[in-house]
Amino acid sequence: MPPKQIDLKKIKKILFVVMGGLGNLILTIPALKTLRINIPRAKITLLLGEPYIENIIKDENLYDDILLLDRRGKTKMTHVLDMVKQARNHQFDLAIVASHTNAFKSSFLLFCMRIPLRLGQDINGQSFFYTHKIPLEQDTHETDGTCQVVGQLGLQRVMDSPQLTPTPRSAELAQQFLHDRGINSKENLIGIHPGSGFKQKYKRWSHHKFASLCDQLIDQYQAQIVITGGPSEVSLANDISKIMKGYPVNAAGKLSLNHTAALIQHCNLFISNDSGLAHIAAAVQTPLIVLFGSTNEKRIAPRGKNIHILRRKKTSRKTPPSMLINAITETDVLNQVKSIIKTKQS
């Protein structure tokens, strides 16, 4: 029996669930924008699996409130029960779960929250507690998948790819940060991100390779290098700075997420592992080279224009993820840089 059509006029409070990290949240921007434009009076609350990542979209008017179920530590049952109680007090009319989220856990959690309309993907037949569901095709990109979930409301998506617009104040502070360190022009400014998300060090290209690459970019293109990253990546950025012969600007841990986005927008090129900052680069439309190892780029690659994905094919099932990404050479990246520059000049 097909589910009943949803009357959008009755939707006043929406819970939007994103249990992944920064990049996963950015990939939901088209779905959130679709909700905001088509149901403007509805209050949208984000249920997130990591703290503070909402700051990247705080100036985009895509949500009204935040609930947090931090997945990074050992989540105590008392915390989960408290979250369920909070959600019940909100009296949500509708819940939407982002693409590729564990169907059984999320649908059961929403059922316990007593949310009457629960929309998500049917993953391996585990979505028992959703009221409305669509089948998941394994290689569906997360942006498309979440928009398909929202599409069950009869809404047409309003944008193809995530977009972020740093505020003039963020742009001013990012430029001041660079100016204070001797960079007064974006000419030949190349940003790198050598880090990765929570418990995802297997996504990291060797810091020695990043250091060697940066020195070669300085030698061949007179590049100005800025190293980006969060507070947990300061030591990694410091290691690269120490190994390098040249003198990069080390911005790791020194800027807020929004100011980092503005700094990335100021770059002529951004080179990154598969990380949240790579998704920021795509969303602010900075030309991007992103290095992939074992993760599925069909599902989670940054979306946008001028994105170049580098990866080496797996030669054996037993190849460790860290070896797979490090099969990419500095020459591979330099060749891609050369191609981008040649395209710009033509």
Ranges of each domain in the chain:
8-153, 168-345
How many other C-beta atoms can be found within 10 angstroms of the C-beta atom of residue 68?
A: 17
Architecture of the domain spanning 8-153: 3-Layer(aba) Sandwich (3.40)
Q: Identify the pLDDT of residue 73.
A: 62
Q: Identify the pLDDT of residue 79.
A: 85
Q: Identify the pLDDT of residue 315.
A: 63
Architecture of the domain spanning 168-345: 3-Layer(aba) Sandwich (3.40)
How many other C-beta atoms can be found within 10 angstroms of the C-beta atom of residue 335?
A: 12
Q: Identify the pLDDT of residue 1.
A: 47
The length of the chain, given as a count of residues = 346
- The count of C-alpha atoms lying within 13 angstroms of the C-alpha of 259, restricted to the half-sphere facing its C-beta, is 16
3-state helix, strand, coil in the chain (%, to 5): 40, 15, 40
pLDDT in tens, the chain (346 residues): 456 789 999 999 999 999 999 999 999 999 999 999 999 999 999 999 999 999 999 999 999 999 998 876 666 788 889 999 999 999 999 999 999 988 899 999 999 999 999 999 998 888 899 999 998 888 899 999 999 999 999 999 999 999 999 999 999 999 999 999 999 888 899 999 999 987 788 899 999 999 999 999 999 999 999 999 999 999 999 999 999 999 999 999 999 999 999 999 999 999 999 999 999 999 999 999 999 998 889 999 999 999 999 998 766 666 777 788 999 999 999 999 999 987 776 6
How many other C-beta atoms can be found within 10 angstroms of the C-beta atom of residue 2?
A: 5
SS3 call for 104: helix
Whole-prediction pTM: 0.95
With beta carbons less than 8 A apart as the criterion, state whether 317 and 298 touch. Answer: no
Residue appearing with tokens 């009943």: 4
Distance CA 272, CA 275 (A): 7
Kindly list the distances between the CA atom of residue 211 and the CA atoms of 205, 215, 344, in Å, as whole numbers in the listed order: 11, 6, 25
